[in-house]
Homo-oligomer: A and B are copies of this chain.
Amino acid sequence: MSKLVSSIREAVQLSGLKDGMTVSFHHHLRNGDYVLNMVMEQIADLGIKDLTVNASSLFDTHQPLADHIRSHVVTGIQTDYMAAGLGREISHGLLEKPVQFRTHGGRPSDIANGNTPIDVAFIAAPSADPMGNCTGKVGKSACGSLGYAIPDAMYAKKVIVITDNLVPYPLPGWSIPEIYVDYVVSVDAIGDPKGIVSGTTRITRDPVGLVMASYAAKVIEHSGLLKDGFSFQTGAGGASLAAASFLKDIMLAKGVQGSFGLGGITGYMVDMLRAGCFQSLLDVQCFDLKAVESLRDDPRHQEISALHYASPAQRSAVVDSLDVVILGATEIDADFNVNVHTDSNGSIMGGSGGHSDTAAGAKLSMIIAPMFRARLPIVTDHVTCVSTPGKDIDVLVTQGGIAVNPKQAELRQRLADAGLPVIDIQELKEKTERITGTPKPLPKGGRVVAEVISRDGGVLDQIYAKAE
């Protein structure tokens, strides 16, 4: 018995994929992924139409999806993140049905509870054996964690593993066991290593970014949370990484022994683990080669599924135990609602990912963002799109001051007592607009091109078509 089939085309045919069904993909190969495009090309060639694509994220490399939408091969998209290229086309009305945006926790939760059933899941696997045990930890296309793919494998009606490193049975250290896998396809390459992981993620050298990072580290230092058992997540942006670096120095100086680092993991978090800042790293996605190597070699660095990371429908997820998260924003309003879905012109260029999941779970969720970008202020009266509700955001750190959500009066006092430049968010808005001028409000209206579905299921906001 073997599940090996000769081609993606044969696997698609064997899966019984038909018009109107849903296919799923994961984004661990990031902008280096070949699998989504290879699969969709075969599906299109087979004449299958009217599919919904459920992808944990869509990157610029997935631009060919636009053609599959134009030819009605794809008529529905569910995703947690969409890069600017495809986002622009969606914002201009490419797809008739609104895109459904979910979070990295809401997506697996809706897959598990049957709200968004998957007919055929395609798993891009850097190593697999002929029965489908597979992992991202080794292979020429190694990407580390396969955390986002695990729920797809667990719940899809059919599961196809596509690998460019077929190894003898049994592959040790699988992320996904054979019990979920129907077919295995061996191909020349599942992705471009240069696009899968960057060699190293890099700390910002921008002075504004460094100021924000320094403030962010000091906010954590004085938050009352930086003590033994401390847990932390940060993104891979330059200022967030700089904040992690400053935080590391503070933790080492104070001898704080944290418990875990969470999230998309970078080499900087690996450095913090090795320096003793954390007991473990919990990794749903690796951002760079150092993270991949650490996940493979260091037993303190553990892969977690998207369900374990952030699902609100499980008995608990790691985000529920998180102390501090550093997040980004394209806009934030006076109620601390955050937009990470669109740019300030309303064009889709992102998505929640784990933003609202970690914001909801963490004791302290902090936004780092510059006061303005391209003369557009970060603080607005109303965000173009509510990605994460303001009730879950505690602090906004900018180079022009630190705004604390009024519900966090004690934290505001702590930061003020520490001499940090605390500022009212309305005041920060006015201070910014004295530099940038007051932008014209964006006309809202027109057709709905996307819905933002909150992590626990309701529609949080809608995104409207842009005029040509």
Name A's B-contacting residues (CB within 8 A).
Answer: 1, 3, 131-132, 159, 168-170, 172-173, 177-182, 229, 259-260, 279-280, 282, 299-300, 302, 304-305, 307-308, 311, 314-318, 320-321
How far, in angstroms, from A8 to B369 measured CA to CA in the complex?
Answer: 48
Least Cβ–Cβ distance between A324 and chain B, in angstroms = 15
Are A304 and B172 in contact (CB-based, < 8 A)? no
Inter-chain contacts of A178 with B (CB < 8 A): 308, 314-318
Q: Quick one: which of B168, B179, B280, B300 contacts A308, CB cutoff 8 A? A: B179
The answer to whether A320 and B1 have CB atoms under 8 Å apart is: yes
- Ordered by A's residue number, 9 sampled pairs between the chains whose C-beta atoms are within 8 Å are A131-B320, A132-B316, A170-B318, A172-B280, A177-B308, A178-B315, A178-B318, A179-B315, A180-B314
With A315-B132, A316-B3 as known contacts, state yes or no: A170 contacts B307, CB within 8 Å: no
Cα A279 to Cα B133 with chains together (Å): 15
Main secondary structure of the interface of A (DSSP, over half): loop
Given contacts A307-B179, A308-B178, contact A316 B131 (CB under 8 A): yes
- Cβ–Cβ < 8 Å partners of A321 in chain B: 1, 131, 169-170
A159-B229 CB under 8 A given contacts A172-B302, A308-B177 = no
Residue among A259, A280, A315 with the highest chain B CB neighbour number at 10 A: A315
Which residues on the B side are within 8 Å of A172 (C-beta)? 279-280, 299-300, 302
- A173, B301: Cα distance in complex, Å: 9
CA–CA, A229 and B130, complex, Å: 13
A177 to B308, CA, bound (A): 7
**Contacting A317 at CB < 8 Å: which of B179, B302, B304?**
B179
**Top 8 closest pairs, chain A to chain B, by CB:** A179-B314, A172-B280, A177-B308, A178-B316, A131-B316, A179-B308, A179-B307, A170-B260
Q: Specify which chain B residues have a CB less than 8 angstroms from the CB of A308 in the assembled complex.
A: 177-179
**A132-B320 Cα distance, complex, nearest whole Å:** 13
Q: B229 and A181: CB pair below 8 A?
A: no
B316 touches A1 (CB 8 A): yes
The minimal Cβ–Cβ distance linking A113 to chain B, given in whole angstroms, is: 13
Query: Contacting A180 at CB < 8 Å: which of B279, B304, B315?
Result: B315
Chain B's closest residue to A311 (CB) is: B179
How far does the Cβ of A114 sit from chain B's closest Cβ, in whole Å?
14
Distance A300 CA – B170 CA, assembled complex (angstroms)? 10
Cβ of B173 and Cβ of A302 under 8 Å apart?
A: yes
Contact between B173 and A299, CB atoms less than 8 A apart: yes
Chain B residue with minimal CB distance to A318? B170
Given contacts A168-B259, A172-B302, A320-B1, contact A182 B280 (CB under 8 A): no
Do B131 and A229 have beta carbons less than 8 Å apart? no
The interface residues of chain B lying within 8 Å CB-to-CB of A177 are: 304-305, 308
Distance between Cα atoms of A181 and B177 in the complex (Å):
21
Contacts of A280 in B (CB 8 A): 170, 172
Q: Please, which residue of chain B has its CB at the minimum distance from the CB of A170?
A: B260
CA of A179 to CA of B305 in the docked complex: distance in angstroms?
Answer: 10
Which residue on B lies nearest to A321, using beta carbons? B169
